[in-house]
A and B are shown apart, each in its own frame.
Chain A
Amino acid sequence: MAEQEKKKNIIDLFIEGCRKGWDTGIRNMMPNVIMAFVIIKALNVTGLLKILGSVFAPIMALWGLPGEAITVLVSSFMSMGGGIGAAAGLLGSNVLSPKDITVLMPAIYLMGSLIQYLGRCLGTAEVNSKYYGIMVGIAVLNALLAMWVMKLLVVMY
């Protein structure tokens, strides 16, 4: 946590936060979104998205999602931003509805960036590597269960 050096007033804090937001937006969010859009375009042009959609339709139907939603989960696994990008791309091409996006939202983070975090979290904390497998499993399970709860909340809402 940042040490509170000199007291900053609320305006300073707000402006500083805006700069952080600009940096994250331009340096992290935009590259991820562009990559995801390009991948979705490539999947579309080659017809692979349709194939993926029909192959995974029965599985994703467990959460009331179209099969193509699998691309969101797979992208999330690589990076949270990628997952958001994929979700946005599929929303843009009307494959996913706002309801689908809402159901996917907790999963994008709960199983998000796991590939990176094996190093950045578990590696840094020097967790015994024999646990890596089960920890990834638990994180994915978290995501899958959370989608059911979210689905329920969406229906209730």
Chain B
Amino acid sequence: MDEKKPVPKQEEEVKWYSYVALLFAIIFFSGILATSKEWYSVCDFTVLNGTFGKIAAANGKMLTFRGAGGNGAQDGFAFALSLLPAVIFALAVVNVVEGLGGLKAAQKLLSPLLRPLLGIPGACGLGMIASYQSTDAGAGMIKAMYNEGIINEDEKTIFAMYQFSGDGTITNFFSSGAALFSVLVTPIILPFGLIMIFKFFGANLMRMYIKYEHKKNGAKEAA
């Protein structure tokens, strides 16, 4: 993740297949098709991720290659190895969706919502999407937009708060998080959606705090 300081560009046209890619990604990782026995369960991450083969243990139990009862660095290694396929597969799918412009489609859909939801200009959509992929890219774009006068000091702080909690959301959740996808007792989309919602919630707390601070300072100056 090398740090770039991209300058927000004019909005490019979003192709129809970018919306399809975005919709596919949401369904694919949502887990709603995971338990289906029909052919369309092919559109599900956990279904295609599959399972490891089982090995019969002496006591008749079936175990994966990780075995049972391990601990310490050795068990950590075996466990990490068992997580690797999910991480590789998840990032492969994310890369395809990204390559087809799925995130650009998300940006286009998000931009008009930014003013009402966060009190920041719609132009921040690009930086927001960038921050889902890379903490460094997202933060670099906040700085670039501030330097160019697209956002003011307060908007910069609110936008930074939005990114700060759960930063690099997509990259992080679908890499390290993929490791525990098979353990989750709910569809994958629930914890992910919750993270997304609370990012907005936290940024709005910051927005309220800044408002309160201005009011306090205003009162001080008046006195």
Known: A13-B95, A125-B163. 8 other contacts (CB 8 A): A17-B96, A88-B180, A109-B169, A117-B167, A128-B157, A138-B202, A138-B206, A141-B202
The answer to whether A142 touches B166 (Cβ under 8 A) is: yes
A55-91 interface with B by 8 A CB criterion: 80-81, 84-85, 87-89, 91
Interface string of A4-43 (1 = CB under 8 A from B): 1000101001111110111011101110111111101100
Residues in B lying within 8 Å of A, measured CB to CB: 3, 6, 70-73, 75-77, 79-81, 83-84, 87-96, 98-101, 103-104, 126, 129-130, 133, 135-140, 142-143, 146, 153, 156-157, 159-161, 163-167, 169, 171-173, 175-177, 179-180, 183-186, 190-191, 194-195, 198-199, 201-202, 205-206, 209
A122 to B167, CA, bound (A): 11
Interface of A is mostly: helix
A65 to B175, alpha carbons, bound, how many Å?
Answer: 25
A32 to B76, CA, bound (A): 9
- The listed residue (A38, A141, A154) touching B205 by CB distance below 8 A is A141
6 examples of A-B residue contacts, CB within 8 angstroms? A14-B92, A18-B91, A20-B91, A25-B88, A30-B81, A125-B156
Residues of B within 8 A of A15 (CB): 92
Q: Are A21 and B91 in contact (CB under 8 A)?
A: yes
**Cβ B191 vs Cβ A105 within 8 A:** yes
Measured CB to CB, the closest approach of chain B to A148, in angstroms, equals 10
Chain A interface residues (CB < 8 Å from chain B) = 1-2, 4, 8, 10, 13-18, 20-22, 24-26, 28-30, 32-38, 40-41, 44, 80-81, 84-85, 87-89, 91-93, 98-99, 101-102, 105-106, 108-114, 117, 120-128, 131, 134-135, 138-139, 141-143, 145-146, 149-150, 153-154, 157
Whether the pair B94, A17 counts as a contact (CB closer than 8 A) is: yes
- Verify B75–A37 contact, CB threshold 8 A: yes
* Complex partner residue of A25 from B71, B83, B93, CB under 8 angstroms: B83
CA distance A15 to B194 in the complex (A): 30
- Which B-chain residue is minimally distant from A93 (CB atoms)? B71
Distance of B24 from chain A, by nearest CB (Å) = 11
- The reply to whether B164 and A121 form a contact with Cβ atoms under 8 Å apart is yes
The list of the 4 closest CB pairs from A to B, nearest first, reads: A17-B95, A37-B76, A21-B88, A17-B92
Given contacts A41-B72, A102-B191, A142-B198, contact A29 B175 (CB under 8 A): yes
Cβ contacts under 8 Å, A113 to chain B: 167, 172
Q: Report the separation of the CA atoms of residues A38 and B73 in the bound assembly, to the nearest whole angstrom.
A: 5
Partner among B70, B76, B180 whose Cβ is within 8 Å of the Cβ of A105? B180
The CA-CA distance from A102 to B93 in the complex, in Å, is 23
Most B C-beta atoms less than 10 A away, residue of A16, A32, A37, A102 = A37
Contact A13 B99 (CB under 8 A): yes
